[in-house]
Amino acid sequence: MSAYSGLSWSDLLFLLDGAGKTILLTALATLFGTVLGIALGWLRDSSRLVGWIVAPYVDVTRSVPLIIQFVLFNSFIAIAGYPLNPLWSGTIVLSSYMGVFTSEVVQAGLQAVRPELRRAGRSLGMGYWTEMRYVTAPLALRVVFPSWIGLVIGLTKDSALVGVIGYIELLRASQILINRTNEAILILLGAGLFYFIICYPISRYSQTLERKLKQ
């Protein structure tokens, strides 16, 4: 490798470390964002008042570019005197972003369940939570799951923007190597391969789970 490009095996390890940080950031943001999105989506479906209250938060998060959200959040917490590690700053912003879009998907999934089925469950003596667990949630999951997987894959790629606040994930690591070696094509091909390795198994496994949900 070094005979042709000036790269060394330590550079490959540097890229692998960046890929590991991308996976960690994506996993944390997916976990917290999904929990937030489920709660927010359920509340918005259950109460018009809640939907009206959180509408500004949802609209702003969806409309403002993610890179601006990273910069503003990181600047505000620094000005407030509570600077955070770039990992946690990125996790908070990405979780909020993921939560908003997940809430949209969850709300759409809940609304896709026919009211007649909900009423049928209640007429059989089920309480609200029992009906939600055995009737509404399983049916809504079939609608929500494919879209949620798309959000996770998109979140993996959006995590590259966290480099703007100093987190050295996969793309930022690639940029550092490009600046040192001037081998943009080779390094970006390697970074793209790593993103493919991360995202493709998620997509394939989701297709298997989706078929099981439809059985």
pLDDT of residue 48: 86
Q: How many Cβ atoms from other residues are within 10 Å of residue 97's Cβ?
A: 22
Give per-residue pLDDT as tens, 9-49: 788 889 999 999 999 999 999 999 999 999 999 999 888 88
CATH number at residue 94: 1.10.3720.10
- For residues 59 and 33, give the distance between their C-alpha atoms in angstroms, rounded to a whole number: 16
DSSP class of residue 124 equals T
Burial degree of 161 (CB within 10 A; 0-12, 13-18, 19+): buried
Please count the structural domains in the chain: 1
Q: Are 187 and 12 in contact (CB under 8 A)?
A: no
Spatial distance between the Cα atoms of 160 and 22, rounded to a whole number of angstroms: 8
pLDDT in tens, 75-90: 999 999 888 899 999 9
Range(s) of the domain holding residue 17:
2-214
The CA–CA distances, whole Å, from 158 to 30, 91, 96, 130 equal 12, 12, 13, 37
- The answer to whether the beta carbons of residues 72 and 114 sit under 8 Å apart is no
Band (pLDDT 50/70/90 cuts) for residue 183 is confident
Residues 155, 95 contacting (CB under 8 angstroms): no
* Per-residue pLDDT tens over the stretch 94-147: 999 999 999 999 999 999 998 888 888 888 888 888 888 888 998 899 889 989
Angle between helices 9-46 and 48-63 (to 10 degrees): 150
pTM value is: 0.87
